[in-house]
Amino acid sequence: MLAAALAAALVVGSAAESAVPARTCNGWCPQDQPGHAPFLPTWKPTWDMRRSTQLMACNNSGYHNVAEAARYGVAVYDWSNAKRLWANTRPMNDDERLTAQAEMVIAADPGVTGEQPRVWQYRNTIKALNWIGQVREKLDDPVYSGWFVRFRDYKGPASNHSCATPPANTPPPHLSAMPTS
């Protein structure tokens, strides 16, 4: 049931035709294509501020505070939530941790029937993050090998060292030529 709710949360677009002109993205947005309607929310609007607000939350050291999430209409979590937990698990299980976080928030406040989904999960669609189990399954399955650009000297999953996730408390590298102090 939760999986269906999470899948529904990922589908934000509406295929219904609209009399409202679509905003333009200079031709690169799907709604700019001929015959494509603009993406509009499918849930009932509300003026209740508690139900019409959104929180993009994260707690690198563990799960996010459920009581805080319950104060907002929608709580959104991305890959970095509970990072210290999933990054130190082998194999890494970020998707399981995101689902567990969503289940905790929904158990505390399931939302209102007919309104927006209570919890959303942000998923990167540009790069394949191997710490998400569903993605890792595809990366490691030869049937899907043509879907991904491999490293030049790729000799299997063991040769990929660039996707190792550093511990949550590791500071980012200094990437600028400017002095740090």
Alpha carbon distances (Å) from 61 to 82, 87, 88, 118, 153: 6, 10, 11, 23, 35
**Given this model, what pLDDT does residue 156 score?**
67
State if pTM tops 0.75.
Answer: no
pLDDT, tens digit (0-9, with 9 covering 90-100), for 47-101: 887 888 899 998 999 999 999 999 998 999 999 999 999 989 888 899 999 999 9
pLDDT tens by residue, 34-50? 766 666 667 777 788 78
Q: Please give the pLDDT value at position 4.
A: 43
- 């002095």: which residue's tokens? 179
